[in-house]
Chain A
Amino acid sequence: MAGGLEPDLAALRRELSGPAALSILIALVAVAVTFLIWRFVQGRRSSRKAVLLLGLCDAGKTLLFARLLSGRYRDTQTSITDSSATYRVRRDKSTSVTLIDLPGHESLRLQFLERFKAAARAIVFVVDSVAFQREVKDVAEFLYQVLVDCTVLKNVPALLIACNKQDVTTAKSAKLIQQQLEKELNTLRVTCSAAPTSLDSSGGSAQLGKKGKDFDFSQLPMKVEFMECSARGSKGEEGDADLEGLEKWLMKVA
């Protein structure tokens, strides 16, 4: 048996030492290099071109999404999965971002956030200005979870807090919402960091803002803006939505 192998090995060695071997080696290296370049380019291209629409249930994310993309009003249902599409910025036709609309349902939101947070260049956090007083704790909690997430802290995407549903008369103003959120987040960062550590004591929650002073949105590492908008539009379902500010901000970010 061994004797049979010996001549085979010798033949193989002879084969390899020839010029054919060199060309094979070069081909392999070329393939590997191409593969790496392709991977790199893909990674670059798809990284961080997304704008996420986050918010509680019934904040108006899906309607906002539909308005930005098609300009028309659609009846929407509670989303149970994400929707994404490319959005061309209005004036400048060449730049485009991917708008991703995530569900706001409590059991789904974290899961989808996990999936898309790495690709986020900007985050639009939609707040229901009408129901804000009731929901202030939930809004703050979700916002806190977004803000202390390690990927978000690393990538530092631009953050816009869109106070939606401004067409209703009882809607709160952006200023008021900002103040309330700051107060609530101030309390939350104390309580959340004081919670018992998690089981394998991984991921100690980051400190939000400066320790000694009251929490302020300017203390965050990312740019935060507040804006009022209305996805439904003041003229009802037929008219256009009041999204000027939002579109300008998207243009800036893209």
Chain B
Amino acid sequence: LLTAPLPQERGGNNSFTHEALTLKYKLDNQFELVFVVGFQKILTLTYVDKLIDDVHKEFRDKYRNEFQQKGALGLLNGTFDFKDDFMRLLRDAEESSRVRAPTVMKTFEQSLKSQKTVKCMIETRGEKPKEKVKNKKNKGSKKEGTETAAAPSKASGGDKQPSAAGDKEELTKDEILQKNREEFFRRHMKAGEKSRSPKPDAQKEKGKKPRVWDLGNSNAKVLDYSNSATNGSAEACPVEEFDPDMALGDKNREPGRLYDLEYESEDEAEEEKVVQNTSKPSTKKGGLGGMFGMLKGLVGSKSLTREDMDPVLEKMKDHLIAKNVAAEIAVQLCESVAKKLEGKVMGTFTTVTSTVKQALQEALVQILQPQRRVDVLRDVMDAQRHRRPYVVTFCGVNGVGKSTNLAKISFWLIENGFSVLIAACDTFRAGAVEQLRTHTRRLNALHPPESHGGRTMVQLYEKGYGKDAAGIAMEAISYARNQGFDVVLVDTAGRMQDNAPLMTALAKLIAVNAPDLVLFVGEALVGNEAVDQLVKFNKALADHSMAQTPRLIDGIVLTKFDTIDDKVGAAISMTYITSKPIVFVGTGQTYCDLRSLNAKAVVAALMKA
């Protein structure tokens, strides 16, 4: 289930679909916890994010002691009786997301609004609960994506100070409950539907812009808006139109108008704060000035914040891209590393840079180390035992080195005592068959039949040009079975991934002949194209296969490795996209230039300078 994306460094976004379920998860890196919420994919539940955050906070606060006690003993021996709390949170979240009738509440809201603004004006600076209420509501509304402009404006209608620097304390459980309740109330006041807008921030922006301009308008016009808003809420208005109206409707108060400019900056500050809150509420930020903050960062337990990591990650991302890793892969990698490190407590004398570099290095090594090592020799032995040939197919775009590497691999197999049949299924390129024939002759000269018990180690099966590749492959395999060859290497023509008819032909060849190993040959010089190539190749193979589980690319051969100096990023891009291992690496044009991948060396070259 969830152990698939997390170990594979794909933890960028926090949701994961598996069959009929969608799983949303949240990592707590400080205590190494994972919170998972699963629900049916067809339902769109809007309160899930909020629920997960609430559960996270409550659980952590409640069982803080068990976690502090170092090691697994605490986890093993502690009883985690969280069921009641969880049910309560779930109920709250469910109820809060239900829609209430708008008309009845409207008048009450008007009065409450006026009440609030006056009250807020009187409130003093250090009023923490009010701030927290606002923050929580902000977070909630931000998540829900409803009344985005309205909620903050309502809350901050009278609130003076920018709250960014202020609230750093833990939110205790009682306050959470109180906040929940208050929020619960507020949400009932709101009219309109709860619909999840994917960009609540964008909506906030939309709501802001008209407001600024309307400052110059006369009162009457502004009043007009509020009236239409009250009427509009009774009907079934689309939400997009609705929100700006609500925001405008709020502005008709004199005090409201005065506070507008402040609100904007506050809002941004709040947004920042909200983002911070969501990511790590328990951060001890170095609120002290420069020197102490720096010292504190050096010694003692400082937990990582997104802001600390962002500049470092930016630099690492640029570094990776400079090393020829595909751009989108670099971005996703950095995202996943950021997610893994957020909230983690750093040890003494470690800087943010070193921690991030370390994490990135581990992630890269993990990507390069395959799920299951492809041991070709072992599998060939297995096939030998069953008296059938082991079929390997080479595919890739034009000019990457399929035929050359095919020859190298057949040399290696012959050295290990297996007999090889080369099937020339490249019936398009001029000279393809002759090329393979030359290789066969050379290999036979190097390993004459006399030294291998009288049988020819390498033979070519070809049917000339212009014929159907899939048919040739099938005949080659049955010929090999009859003659007792151990391995069949099928060479196909190079094709661009966008060329639909050719991709269909390749897919047909693979689907019909069911090879044991499908190797994608890619050159190390390729940059962002690697992503496109692999995705399209896999897609073509999946689309045109009749079987339940289609045969996809099983391994990658990385060629022309000697031409790149240390810009080895293509290896990362390819393995990340397919999560299949790099089986061979080609480092030249002679028969001995075949290597296997050394993950640590590649990562070292990647991270160097």
Q: How far is the CA of A80 from the CA of B1 in the complex (A)?
A: 12
- B118 to chain A minimum Cβ distance, whole angstroms, is 53
Q: How far is the CA of A197 from the CA of B523 in the complex (A)?
A: 19
- A37-45, A64-72, A119-127, A155-163 - interface stretch: A64-72
Contact assessment for A106 and B372 in the assembled complex, using a CB-CB cutoff below 8 Å: yes
B residues in contact with A187, CB < 8 Å: 378, 381
Contact assessment for B602 and A191 in the assembled complex, using a CB-CB cutoff below 8 Å: no
Q: Which residues of chain B from 545 to 597 have a CB within 8 Å of any chain A CB?
A: 561, 584-585, 587, 594-597
Q: Which of A69, A74, A195, A196 has the most CB of B within 10 A?
A: A196
User: Which of A66, A110, A188, A190 is within 8 Å of B76, CB to CB?
Assistant: A66
B353 interface residue, CB < 8 Å from A? no
For residue A65, which residue of chain B has the nearest CB? B72
A95 interface residue, CB < 8 Å from B? no
A48 interface residue, CB < 8 Å from B? no
Given contacts A141-B375, A202-B601, contact A80 B73 (CB under 8 A): no
A107 interface residue, CB < 8 Å from B? yes
Contact assessment for B377 and A191 in the assembled complex, using a CB-CB cutoff below 8 Å: yes
Q: Which of B416, B594, B598, B602 has the most CB of A within 10 A?
A: B598
Q: How far is the CA of A191 from the CA of B384 in the complex (A)?
A: 14
B residues in contact with A65, CB < 8 Å: 72
Q: How far is the CA of A190 from the CA of B34 in the complex (A)?
A: 42
User: Which of B76, B366, B371, B598 is within 8 Å of A198, CB to CB?
Assistant: B598
Interface of B is mostly: mixed
B residues in contact with A66, CB < 8 Å: 76
A20 interface residue, CB < 8 Å from B? no
Over the window 373-402 of chain B, the binary record of Cβ atoms lying under 8 Å from chain A Cβ atoms (1 yes, 0 no) is 101011001000000000000000000000
Contact assessment for A200 and B601 in the assembled complex, using a CB-CB cutoff below 8 Å: yes
Q: How far is the CA of A121 from the CA of B331 in the complex (A)?
A: 41
B residues in contact with A177, CB < 8 Å: none
- A28-36, A81-89, A168-176, A221-229 - interface stretch: A81-89
Q: How far is the CA of A198 from the CA of B597 in the complex (A)?
A: 6
- B334 to chain A minimum Cβ distance, whole angstroms, is 19
B residues in contact with A106, CB < 8 Å: 370-372
Q: How far is the CA of A194 from the CA of B34 in the complex (A)?
A: 42
A138 interface residue, CB < 8 Å from B? yes
Contact assessment for B595 and A196 in the assembled complex, using a CB-CB cutoff below 8 Å: yes
Over the window 40-59 of chain A, the binary record of Cβ atoms lying under 8 Å from chain B Cβ atoms (1 yes, 0 no) is 00000000000000000000
User: Which of B366, B377, B584, B587 is within 8 Å of A107, CB to CB?
Assistant: B366
B77 interface residue, CB < 8 Å from A? yes
A11 interface residue, CB < 8 Å from B? no
A residues in contact with B412, CB < 8 Å: 196
Contact assessment for B595 and A188 in the assembled complex, using a CB-CB cutoff below 8 Å: no
Contact assessment for A108 and B73 in the assembled complex, using a CB-CB cutoff below 8 Å: no
Over the window 104-118 of chain A, the binary record of Cβ atoms lying under 8 Å from chain B Cβ atoms (1 yes, 0 no) is 011110110000000
Contact assessment for A107 and B73 in the assembled complex, using a CB-CB cutoff below 8 Å: no
Interface of A is mostly: mixed
For residue A192, which residue of chain B has the nearest CB? B375
For residue A111, which residue of chain B has the nearest CB? B366
B residues in contact with A74, CB < 8 Å: 76
Q: How far is the CA of A197 from the CA of B585 in the complex (A)?
A: 10
B residues in contact with A195, CB < 8 Å: 375, 377, 596
Given contacts A74-B76, A202-B601, contact A105 B7 (CB under 8 A): yes
A residues in contact with B362, CB < 8 Å: 111
Contact assessment for B377 and A199 in the assembled complex, using a CB-CB cutoff below 8 Å: no
Q: How far is the CA of A128 from the CA of B307 in the complex (A)?
A: 45
Contact assessment for B584 and A196 in the assembled complex, using a CB-CB cutoff below 8 Å: yes
User: Which of A70, A72, A101, A111 is within 8 Å of B365, CB to CB?
Assistant: A111
A78 interface residue, CB < 8 Å from B? yes
A residues in contact with B373, CB < 8 Å: 141
- A240 to chain B minimum Cβ distance, whole angstroms, is 16
Q: How far is the CA of A83 from the CA of B596 in the complex (A)?
A: 33
Contact assessment for B366 and A196 in the assembled complex, using a CB-CB cutoff below 8 Å: no
Q: How far is the CA of A86 from the CA of B264 in the complex (A)?
A: 55
Given contacts A108-B366, A192-B375, contact A199 B584 (CB under 8 A): no
Contact assessment for A70 and B76 in the assembled complex, using a CB-CB cutoff below 8 Å: yes
Q: How far is the CA of A190 from the CA of B32 in the complex (A)?
A: 41
Contact assessment for B77 and A198 in the assembled complex, using a CB-CB cutoff below 8 Å: no
Contact assessment for A194 and B377 in the assembled complex, using a CB-CB cutoff below 8 Å: yes
Contact assessment for A199 and B3 in the assembled complex, using a CB-CB cutoff below 8 Å: no
Q: How far is the CA of A83 from the CA of B32 in the complex (A)?
A: 11
User: Which of A81, A196, A199 is within 8 Å of B601, CB to CB?
Assistant: A199
For residue A195, which residue of chain B has the nearest CB? B596
B71 interface residue, CB < 8 Å from A? yes
Query: Could you list some 21 contacts between A and B, CB below 8 A?
Result: A70-B76, A72-B76, A83-B72, A85-B73, A85-B76, A86-B71, A86-B73, A101-B72, A105-B7, A106-B370, A107-B8, A108-B366, A111-B362, A191-B375, A191-B378, A195-B596, A196-B594, A197-B595, A198-B601, A199-B585, A199-B598
A-B CB proximity, top 10 nearest: A198-B598, A191-B377, A83-B72, A107-B7, A85-B72, A199-B598, A78-B3, A85-B71, A106-B371, A196-B594
User: Which residues does A use to contact B, with CB under 8 Å?
Assistant: 65-66, 69-70, 72, 74, 78, 80-81, 83-86, 101, 103, 105-108, 110-111, 137-138, 141, 187-188, 190-192, 194-200, 202-203
Given A78-B3, A187-B381, 4 further pairs, Cβ under 8 A: A69-B76, A80-B34, A83-B71, A86-B73
